[in-house]
Structure 1
Amino acid sequence: MDISKWIGNSFDISDTMATEQLQKLEALMNGDPDSVSEGSEISPCGHWIYFNPPIPQADLGINGHERNSDFLPPVELPRRMWAGGKIKFKKPLKSGVPADMKSTITKIDEKEGKSGELCFVTIRHQISTRGAVAIDEEQTIVFREESEKGAHPIRTQPLDIDPEWRKSTKPSSIQLFRYSALTFNSHRIHYDQDYAREMEGYPNVLVHAPFLVHLMIDAFTSKADGKVISEIKYENVGPVYLGEQITICGKSIDNTKTALRVHGSEGKIAVKAEVQWTYNW
């Protein structure tokens, strides 16, 4: 099947941007939910807790994903992961102010990697509110073959920056549950240990890649001294499994950019990112 025909396929969805949803994100990130009210600005990447369609239970496959998507191409590879992306924050989204998202498949690349056949699907998400584009996002999803029995993805890239600051944390099963609930993500690799081990060959459930990006942004913001993120580029280069201690670290590149990393206790990278920022004086 020629899946390149899916390039240009699009999907539209609207959201009320409910204040209660943003309060729950604030609670998950150990902030103060009472600080969020109608009209509060949605933090960078906070839009990921919105625009998640209510797919009926009967339409889900064994892995928890939609069985027959009208939007994504029918890639004949069983494993699906969030590979990375780039986001430009053009204007703030606000809680309680409705927004619209148009998603369009812009590229499909089929490759042969060390772990076998791979298919990268790039999607452009444009989110508009009050007649103007607020977020312009490029997201890449990777489909891959099943791992050989006894093998599973590991982190391999060594830490490549000399950090100016560090913050360590250990994501818990409660956090993973709450993030899955917030994003209406039913992919079983994030909460079903038996499925993750027996069906997909992982040693434990995986921490959501976008949740790791949220943790990076939260750590950067706590060190930022008035810096406001205008753009982020990130790449998920290795997994983080439940129970692992991870370190989030950062280093200034120049007067407007900071490199961010998530790495494990052995010093190998899980997520690489670069944020561009301005001062909010």
Structure 2
Amino acid sequence: MADATLQITHTMDPARAQALAVTLEIPAPTQALPPFFHQIYFWEALPNPRLGRDGHPALGESLMPDMGLPRRMWAGGRLQFHRDIQTGIPAEKTSVIESCAHKQGRTGPLAFVTARHEVRQNGQLCVTEWQDIVYREDPSPDQPAPPPPMASEGEVLLERSFSSTDVFRYSALTFNGHRIHYDLDYCRDVEGYSGLVVHGPLLAQVLMLLAKEALGELSEFSFRATAPLICPEVVQFMTDSQGNFWVRGPDGRQCMSASAKA
């Protein structure tokens, strides 16, 4: 049974934020963290016996429940930004499970879990985040994957690829041990991907920085992963200049959709 509440306190080391900035190829932040940079803090380091086959905490360990399905992935999320998180000052992250549900999808049973995270610093609420996790069965070799949605046209804000080094660095900075980001045999043989998978939160991080550049300081941001991006595919980060943002893969598929408010 998962714990009802998880609390982690962390000193917001500026060197870690600088390392993420290098990975993202952006200027290093000074004192206030850019939006979503809190993802590289608040590590929950569990010993190997408490990890699952995918390298994440085993199903039912810590906060996330066992929903009876072996695969899990970050499907999307929503954030509210209340005030900046400052580097060099301790902050506390409190996490709870807000909802759990089973559903029947096109390719079989699914389960959805929503976790709510609140980050506070000096007793003040800085960020509220809802994280949506989807659980599913292992892929069947004789069942083709459903076709991904196709991205619409828009303004291209950034075009880049993510190398295996980029993916490794982001995994290290977020203490993310999921094997789809570094174990090619596991990607292909167990989870059915054609190669190493670029983190959905990494794509969301880039979109948030672009949204802040386009709109100013953000008050809200939501995103939904719609298709995996495989490194080193070239990807385009796009917008319609109306608060909508998305990620388009090299074949035109939509890898992520998002919306932002200043």
TM norm structure 2: 0.93
Q: Give me the identity figure in percent.
A: 33
Q: In the alignment, what sits opposite 1:59?
A: 50
Gaps of 5+ in 1: none
Q: In the alignment, what sits opposite 1:214?
A: 205
Task: Give yes or no for contact 1:167–1:249 (8 Å, CA) kept in 2.
Answer: yes
Secondary structure in structure 2 of the residue aligned to 1:12? strand
Note the 1:1-281 alignment, pairs <5 A: 9-33=4-28, 36-37=29-30, 40-67=31-58, 68-149=60-141, 153=145, 156-160=148-152, 162-222=153-213, 224=214, 227-253=216-242, 258-277=243-262
Summarize deviations over 1:201-236 as a string: whole Å, max 9, x none. 2111111000011121233345x2x71111101111
Task: Give yes or no for contact 2:102–2:111 (8 Å, CA) kept in 1.
Answer: yes
Task: Give yes or no for contact 1:154–1:239 (8 Å, CA) kept in 2.
Answer: no
Summarize deviations over 1:209-264 as a string: whole Å, max 9, x none. 00011121233345x2x7111110111111111121111101122xxxx1000011
Displacement after TM superposition at 1:151 (Å)? 5.1
Distance 1:202 1:150 in 2: 14
Task: Give yes or no for contact 1:246–1:264 (8 Å, CA) kept in 2.
Answer: yes
Distance 1:173 1:251 in 2: 30
Displacement after TM superposition at 1:121 (Å)? 0.2
> Using a 3 Å threshold, how does the CA distance of structure 1 residues 164 and 199 change in structure 2: closer, same or farther?
closer
Q: RMSD over aligned Cα, in angstroms?
A: 1.9
Q: Which amino acid aligns with 1:275?
A: A
Summarize deviations over 1:140-172 as a string: whole Å, max 9, x none. 000001111155756621224x41333211111
Displacement after TM superposition at 1:93 (Å)? 0.2
TM norm structure 1: 0.87
Distance 2:82 2:131 in 1: 17
Distance 2:146 2:209 in 1: 25
Task: Give yes or no for contact 1:126–1:135 (8 Å, CA) kept in 2.
Answer: yes
Distance 1:232 1:101 in 2: 19
Secondary structure in structure 2 of the residue aligned to 1:219? helix
Q: 258-267 or 176-185, which moves further after superposition?
A: 258-267
Q: Which amino acid aligns with 2:124?
A: A
Displacement after TM superposition at 1:57 (Å)? 2.4
Gaps of 5+ in 2: none
